[in-house]
Amino acid sequence: MQVTKPQQTYRFFQLFYLLAFFGFGSLFPLLSVYLENEKGLNHTQIGIVVAALPLVTIFMQPIWGMLSDYTKKPRRLLFISCLMAGFLSLAYVLLDGFVLLLTGIIGIALFQSAIVPLSDSLSLHFVQAYKKEYGNIRLFGALGFAIAVFIVGKLTDISGNLTWIFYAFSFGLIVSVIGLSFFPKQGQHVQLDFRTGFKTLMKQRTFILFLVSNFLIFGPVLANNYYFGTYILSAGGTLSGVGIAFLIAAGSEAPFMFIAQKIINRFDVTLVMLLCAFVSSSRWLFYFMDPSVPLVYATTIVQGISVGLYIPAALLFVRQTAPDAVQATAVGIYSAVGNGMGNAFFTFLGGVILDVWNVNGMYGFYGAMTFLGMIILIIVRGQVSVPSHTLSYNK
């Protein structure tokens, strides 16, 4: 069977996401463990270093977007960002001391922050042009993340050397650029300037309430990626166990992303998000109760619901409720609030709680905040009357 050029491009998008997220999965879940065990930082310092990643993302993603619009060369910018983040991570293992470690992670984040928005812009433009599904590309990212945590967790456990997380991160990002020559040259571009779009969206009460709920619901989900390894080790698990747990958790996202469109088409999109939030809140509160390690492993599979369904549902909600002229800006703000501010806030505060309380207390806090986000989302649901059958992931 002959492979058409669009189908070939589709497969290279999948390969890129697989390799890039392999890099992310190698580093992020074990970064806090590395900083504690290899560099001797306390939990508050670890929280600051790790929170620097999403904080830099908040400020740098708009800049990368403007560079993409100005140069009209998002593919080249993606190439540069992958290589620079990969090479800088190799130098990170040579750093010591809180200030240098913080400075180094900021340097990596300056380039790493460009990878997801630039690749998403290119892939969304492609799937809309050729009637493909973004979810079938993004699920390869979930697979890459899951495979990386399992392999790198096993490798670090056997070798006793946590620096492997940086070598694997570098490998994933540098090798991922192989497929970029097959990417389309252009992605999506905003229809209005950011300032005009921002003013328009800030008048949308429903959108603002959704941003608050997203901050409270998805912030803890992302912060969990940094502290879940610490939680398993404190419960008596091993680095190999961390890899297995993340393999189950991240691996469960892929099938749910694959069927996300069917579920969203069947039910109201806010109902799907409420289900995801309820699952997340229940999971965090369960960890607060200090369950055994086998039970922790068993519960990781629900991440498929809380992430694999939530991401496409939330993106759809933003695109369906925001005015057509400011949808690109709306997606950017949504990403900055949840992936940036929420991630940074709960990652930093998680480190503080670890120092003054314990990891169980941190998850209790996450559960309470997620429950508050559910209440706000119920209010949002009451203000929106978008029938589920009008929602389309390929809009």
- Report d(CA 24, CA 46) in Å as an integer: 18
Tokens of 23: 């890099």
Considering 10-14, 91-95, 191-195, 334-338, the range whose residues carry the highest mean pLDDT is 91-95
- Report d(CA 10, CA 136) in Å as an integer: 9
From 182, 218, 207, select the one nearest 317 (Cα to Cα): 207
In a domain, 1, yes or no: no
* pLDDT at residue 295 is higher than 90: yes
* pLDDT at residue 389 is higher than 90: no
Confidence band (pLDDT; 50, 70, 90) for 38? Answer: very high
In a domain, 4, yes or no: no
Reported as a single tens digit per residue, the pLDDT across 221-270 is: 999 989 999 999 998 888 888 888 988 988 888 888 888 878 888 888 99
In a domain, 343, yes or no: yes
In a domain, 216, yes or no: yes
Q: What is the DSSP code (8-state) at residue 235?
A: T
Query: Residue 328: its pLDDT value, please?
Result: 65
CA dihedral (13, 15, 18, 21) positive or negative: negative
User: Mean pLDDT, to the nearest integer, of 200-220?
Assistant: 92
Query: Residue 147: its pLDDT value, please?
Result: 92
- Report d(CA 41, CA 218) in Å as an integer: 26
Which CATH number is 296's domain given?
A: 1.20.1250.20
Query: Per the structure, how many domains does the chain have?
Result: 1
Tokens of 42: 């306390």
- Report d(CA 228, CA 391) in Å as an integer: 34
Its pTM stands at 0.82
Contact indicator for 311, 120 with CB cutoff of 8 Å: no
- Report d(CA 291, CA 26) in Å as an integer: 26
Contact indicator for 276, 305 with CB cutoff of 8 Å: yes
Contact indicator for 74, 121 with CB cutoff of 8 Å: yes
Q: Count of CB atoms within 10 A of residue 80's CB? A: 15
Of residues 52 and 388, the one with the higher pLDDT is 52
* Structural domain for 123, as ranges: 12-179+189-381
* pLDDT at residue 387 is higher than 50: no
Q: How distant, in Å, are the alpha carbons of 65, 67, 349, 390 from that of 187?
A: 10, 12, 36, 25
CA 369 to chain centre: 19
* pLDDT at residue 3 is higher than 80: no
Reported as a single tens digit per residue, the pLDDT across 310-350 is: 988 998 888 788 887 777 677 778 878 888 899 999 999 99
